[in-house]
Amino acid sequence: MYDVKSKKAEEFISHDEILKTLSYAEENRENRALIESIIEKARLGNGLSHREAAVLLDCKFEDLNEKIYKLAEEIKERFYGNRIVMFAPLYLSNYCVNGCVYCPYHLQNKHIARKKLTQEEIRREVMALQDMGHKRLALETGEDPINSPIEYVLESIKTIYDVKHKNGAIRRVNVNIAATSVENYRKLHEAGIGTYILFQETYHKESYEMLHPTGPKHNYTYHTEAMDRAMEGGIDDVGIGVLFGLERYRYELTGLLMHAEHLEAAYGVGPHTISVPRIRHADDIDAESFSNGIDDETFAKIVACIRIAVPYTGMIISTRESQACREKVLKLGVSQISGGSRTSVGGYDKLELEDHKSEQFDVSDKRSLDEIVHWLMEMGHVPSFCTACYREGRTGDRFMMLLKSGQIINCCHPNALITLKEYLMDYASEETRALGEKMIAKELEKVTNPRVKERAAQNLLDINEGKRDFRF
C-alpha cells in the first residue's frame, strides 16, 4: 500500500504505485491538453507530483518538450539565479565489505590498490584542496566497520575543519557514507557536517538486491530508510540520488520524486539536494555491460523534469559528466558542480601514482578548478564558494523559507560574490581574476536591498585589504 507519510520503505516507495504511474504516463504521452495543463501548473513554482512529472518525461510533442526545457530554465533562474556552488569530493578510504556489482570498491575486486588515509595524509589532502581554492568538501569512504568505522569518520571531519593553510579553510564538510544508525547520524550532526548524502542507486527493490548481492548494503529496507534515521538524528539537510543506468530511467525518476515527497510529507522539508550520476567505467567495471544506460538528450530531459517537479531542491552534477554535457544541463536546473576532482584515495596531494590506481569512477571533466571557474563565468554563471547558510543555521525548512520568500538575492547572491572575490584574490589566474572582477561589479547591481548592497560592497573592498570570511 502506498503511503507517502509512512516510514516503511516499501510503503513510501511503492512498487505498485510506480508501475501505475508509468502506465498513466504512457497512456497520456500524447495527451496534449493534459501535458499543457501540467506545464501551466508548474509555472506557479510549487512543484509537481511524481505522476505529473512522469507525464512530462514521457511527452512526445517536440514543441511541448521545448516548453518544458524553457520552463526548467525559468524556474532555475527564479529560485537559484545564476549562482553555481563549487565543491570537491575527498576520498578517505576505498576498503569496502559490500559486493556492489557497479563499483570497483566491491569486496571481490582483489587487484585494485586499497588505501586508507591517515590523519596526516588527510591534512595534506586538505591543504592541496585549499591551495586550489575549495571551501566545501564531500567526504567519501567505502563501507568497512574495521577500516572506516564512525569514529574514523568523525576524527577525519575534525581534522579537516582544523586545517588552516595560508588563506585556506574548509568551511563545510558534507558526508557521503553508508547508511547507519540514528545514534551515528546524531554524532555526525554534532560534528558539524553540512548535508548527509546517500544515493539510493536504484529504487527497484528486486534489481537493488541483485546489484548488491553481498554485504550490509544488500538490505534494501535499511538503506532506503536511511534518510528517515538521519532526520531523526537531527540532520535536516539530506541529499538523495540514483545511479542512472542501473534500472529503467522512468522507474528511477518516479522513485526519486516519491522519496522527495515522502521527506516533505513526513518531516516538513524535502531533500536539500538531488544528485543525478550516470554509471561510468572504472577499473573492473564496464559501463557498457549495463543495459539501461541513457543518452545525453534523455539525461537533459530528466534534469529538466526534476527541476520543475522540485523547484526548491539543489541539483548536483559531478565530473562524471563531460564539459559539453555539464554545459547543457547547468541552465536546466543544476546548482552545484564539482571541480578539479580526484576520485582516488590520496589523489590531490600526490596526484595519480602509477602503482596506486584507485579511482571509484573515470572522471570525464578533467579541467582544473581555475579552468572551470573561468568557464562558468564566460557562460554568465557566478561560481560560489559560499557556506554561509550552514554556519548561520539556515538549514532544513529555514533554507527552504529563504528560497520561497525570494530573498535569496539579498543573501546567497552577495555571499556568492564575496566568496568569488576571495577565490580571485587568493587562487585565480590573471585571466580568471580579470573576468571575475568584471562579473562581480555587474552582479552586485542585482542585489535589491540597498543596505545589503552597501555592506557587500564594503566587504569586497575589505577583501582587497586582506580580510576574509564575510557572510550574510
**Model pLDDT, residue 365:** 85
Q: What is the pLDDT of residue 209?
A: 98
Burial class of residue 378 (count of CB atoms within 10 Å of its CB; 0-12, 13-18, 19+) = exposed
Q: In the prediction, which pLDDT does 359 show? A: 63
Which class for 63: exposed (0-12), middle (13-18), buried (19 or more C-beta within 10 A)?
Answer: exposed
Mean pLDDT in consecutive groups of 10 residues from the start of the chain, 472 residues: 97 98 98 98 97 98 98 95 96 96 89 93 97 97 96 98 95 97 98 97 98 97 98 97 97 98 96 94 82 95 98 93 93 95 88 53 84 98 91 78 73 94 98 98 94 96 94 87
Output the pLDDT for position 358.
62
Burial class (CB in 10 A: 0-12, 13-18, 19+), 31: middle
Report the pLDDT value the prediction gives residue 355, as an integer from 0 to 100: 43
Q: What is the pTM of this model?
A: 0.94
pLDDT value of position 357 = 62
Q: Which helix (H) or strand (E) holds 172?
A: strand 172-176
Helices then strands, counting H and E runs in the chain, come out as 20, 11
Q: What is the pLDDT, as a whole number, of residue 360?
A: 64
The CA distance from 54 to 76, in Å, is: 19
Gyration radius of the chain's alpha carbons: 21
Which of 53, 28, 31 shows the shortest CA–CA distance to 42?
A: 53
| Domain residue extents for the chain | 78-388, 406-464
Residue 111 CB coordination number (10 Å): 8
Grid cell listed for 223: 538503506
Which superfamily does 78-388 belong to?
A: Aldolase class I (3.20.20.70)
